[in-house]
Amino acid sequence: MSGISMGSGKNEHDLILEMQKDLRDAAIKHFGCHDPVFKNGKEAEKALHRFFNWYDSSYAIPAIGMTPDEAWEKRHGSRKETLHPKLDMIYDATEVGIIFDEEAGMGIAPDYGFVKMLLEGEKETIKNADALVRDIVKGLLLPPHILKKLLRKNEVRAVRVFGRVYPQVRTADDLDRLMKKHQREWDIPPKPGIKPVHTADDGAVSSEEG
The residues spanned by each domain of the chain are 4-86+193-209, 109-182
Distances (CA, A) of 59 to 30, 68, 195: 9, 7, 20
Q: Among residues 17, 14, 15, 19, which one has the least CA distance to residue 2?
A: 19
Output the pLDDT for position 11.
73
pLDDT confidence of 84, banded at 50, 70, 90?
confident
Percent of the chain at pLDDT above 70? 87
* 131-141: average pLDDT: 96
Interatomic CA distance for residues 8 and 63, integer angstroms: 10
* 197-204: average pLDDT: 37
Interatomic CA distance for residues 74 and 26, integer angstroms: 21
- pLDDT of 199 > 50? The answer is no
Interatomic CA distance for residues 103 and 13, integer angstroms: 11
- pLDDT of 205 > 60? The answer is no
- pLDDT of 210 > 60? The answer is no
Interatomic CA distance for residues 153 and 149, integer angstroms: 6
**Which positions ≥6 away from 16 have C-beta within 8 Å?**
192, 194, 196, 205, 207
Segment among 20-24, 45-49, 76-80, 141-145 with least mean pLDDT: 76-80
Q: Where are the beta strands (DSSP E) in the chain?
A: 4-6, 37-40, 94-101, 105-109, 194-199, 204-209
Output the pLDDT for position 130.
95
Q: Is 23 in contact with 106 (CB distance < 8 Å)? A: yes
Mean pLDDT of the residues in the chain: 87
pTM given for the model: 0.83
Give the DSSP H or E segment for 182. Answer: helix 172-182
pLDDT confidence of 209, banded at 50, 70, 90?
low
